[in-house]
Chain A
Amino acid sequence: MVSKPSIHVIWQNTVYPWWWKVAYLILHENFGDLVTNPVDEAFGRAINAHVNAYLNKGTMPPTEIAATVMNLADDVMAGRKMTIRAGDYIAVQNYMKKTAAGK
């Protein structure tokens, strides 16, 4: 059994810190180029289930999120901290929304 992953979304060079100062009418904190955000519990549970199923039972993940799940599984196998890029996060959220809607 894979332990519950600590998942973080990481942006790479997609956030421009100066925007925080001009976007709206009050000063904003600067953000670095690399931003880490915790993901919500439901998202973590869903990813955890797919990564576990893939690693422990050899169950292939759904096509839409297969690359993401396998990348995360690689992180687990290599002992790295699991990370997910913004684009993969969006893809998984879209998949979750689609399945929740029964599409």
Chain B
Amino acid sequence: MPFESFPFVIGWELTLACNLRCQHCGSSAGQMRTNELTTDEALTICNQFPELFVKEVDFTGGEPMMRKDWTTISRHLTGMGITTKVLTNGILLKPDIIPHMKEAGISGVGISIDGLEKTHDRIRSRPGLFKEIMAGIALLQKNDIPASVITTANSLNIRELPALMNQLIEHGVPQWQIQPVFAFGRVLESPALRFSRDEYLMLGKFIHDFSPQAQSEGLTISPADSFGYFTGLDTREPPWGGCPAGWVSCGITSDGRIKPCLSLPDVYTQGDLRKRTLWDIWFDETAFSFTRGFARDNLGPNCSSCDMGGQCKGGCSAMSVGYTGSFHNDPYCFHAICGKNQPVLKRT
């Protein structure tokens, strides 16, 4: 059957330049890429989105707001009815940025907070950043710009999540996305950040046990990326159905290449927007084959004997590749850790 889906959500690495050097950065961001897109090239790419029914573009990086024309790109997209959001480390959230955010028409800002003050500032290698970010969140709230918090959970901050939750509630943060750390980029130089299996299980239990309390106090906790699968700890409905990269989403690098997911290394590039259109790359019969062409035989040793393997397809692609070097072999899995003692949810 021919492929018939569209990239509804695109993650766009506007620049790889960053004003931080975070220990857990999977992109090893810092310096911009050597040949990043010009404004005209970026706008030309934007013009290709409507025919592919792109609904939302999430600007990431590096630090996306370091790119001087980010508001121009955002405004161009919102003018075509496409939602834009910005994922930021928070340093630039000062009063002078607010008019630009309003002008850009963004629908929300995701701000990274990776633990309590001491841990966050240590991971981000910038003393005082935590306080700056909290002030930035207050600034966004004051100006009616929706702000959510994103935490990359790791071995250093996993035990701080309950206390961090309370702080976010106190600051009136409505949404908190939590995702486990990947083994790419600088994480390879900081093995202490990586989860043990027990710590990964702690993450599942925290989200499961604390979400109702958080919800009752106005904070929605949302697990993302590699979180699951098929146990009572992961009760999202409908349950996981395989990596969405290349099915309903993709990533654009700052030099115009298409990746299934920005978390994956550049070696998984599927095409170059300087040479081909997004339409041609997206519908190329050979593109995104690791997800689109999945067969149960592709499951790696971590997943091959799993009763849910056919539906799960081996979990998160980035987690699987980062920790095992191959797709469909995600080692972080509640179902595997817990065995069959947890109730298995089946797709209905």
Q: Closest Cβ of chain B: how far from A55's Cβ, in Å? A: 26
Q: Is the CB of B236 within 8 A of A21?
A: yes
> In this assembly, does A60 line the interface, its C-beta being within 8 Å of a C-beta of chain B?
no
Q: Is the CB of B248 within 8 A of A90?
A: no
> In this assembly, does B253 line the interface, its C-beta being within 8 Å of a C-beta of chain A?
no
Chain B residue numbers with a CB within 8 Å of A78 are none
Q: Is the CB of A28 within 8 A of B177?
A: no
* Chain B residue nearest to A88 in the complex (CB): B4
Contact check: which of B110, B237, B240 meets A26 at CB < 8 Å? B110
Interface size grouping (class) on chain B: 35 or more
> In this assembly, does B206 line the interface, its C-beta being within 8 Å of a C-beta of chain A?
no
Using a Cβ–Cβ cut-off of 8 Å, how many residues does chain A contribute to the interface with B?
28
> In this assembly, does B290 line the interface, its C-beta being within 8 Å of a C-beta of chain A?
no
Q: Is the CB of B85 within 8 A of A14?
A: no
Q: Mark B220-257, 1 if CB is under 8 A from A, else 0.
A: 10111101000000001111110011011100000000
Contact check: which of B4, B8, B244 meets A90 at CB < 8 Å? B4
Chain A residue numbers with a CB within 8 Å of B239 are 18
Contacts A22-B244, A27-B222 given; indicate if A17 touches B238 (C-beta within 8 A).
yes
Q: Is the CB of A37 within 8 A of B53?
A: yes
Q: Closest Cβ of chain A: how far from B49's Cβ, in Å? A: 11
Q: Is the CB of B238 within 8 A of A21?
A: no
Which chain A residues in 1-34 approach chain B with CB under 8 Å? 9, 11, 14-28, 31
> In this assembly, does B148 line the interface, its C-beta being within 8 Å of a C-beta of chain A?
yes
Contact check: which of B60, B108, B227, B244 meets A16 at CB < 8 Å? B244
Q: Is the CB of B240 within 8 A of A18?
A: yes
> In this assembly, does B2 line the interface, its C-beta being within 8 Å of a C-beta of chain A?
yes
Q: Mark B25-53, 1 if CB is under 8 A from A, else 0.
A: 00000000000000000000000001101
* Chain A residue nearest to B316 in the complex (CB): A22
Contact check: which of B4, B58, B223, B279 meets A14 at CB < 8 Å? B4
Chain B residue numbers with a CB within 8 Å of A31 are 8
* Chain A residue nearest to B108 in the complex (CB): A26
> In this assembly, does B6 line the interface, its C-beta being within 8 Å of a C-beta of chain A?
yes
> In this assembly, does B11 line the interface, its C-beta being within 8 Å of a C-beta of chain A?
yes
Q: Is the CB of A23 within 8 A of B238?
A: no
* Chain A residue nearest to B85 in the complex (CB): A26
Alpha-carbon distance A85/B4, docked complex (angstroms): 9
Q: Mark A71-103, 1 if CB is under 8 A from B, else 0.
A: 000000000000001110010011001000000
Q: Which chain A residues have a beta carbon within 8 Å of chain B's beta carbons? A: 9, 11, 14-28, 31, 37, 40, 43, 85-87, 90, 93-94, 97
The 8 A-B residue pairs with the shortest CB-CB distance, nearest first, are A19-B244, A23-B249, A86-B4, A26-B110, A87-B4, A23-B9, A24-B58, A26-B85
Known: A19-B248, A22-B227, A27-B177. 8 other contacts (CB 8 A): A16-B241, A18-B241, A23-B248, A24-B11, A26-B58, A26-B150, A28-B56, A90-B4
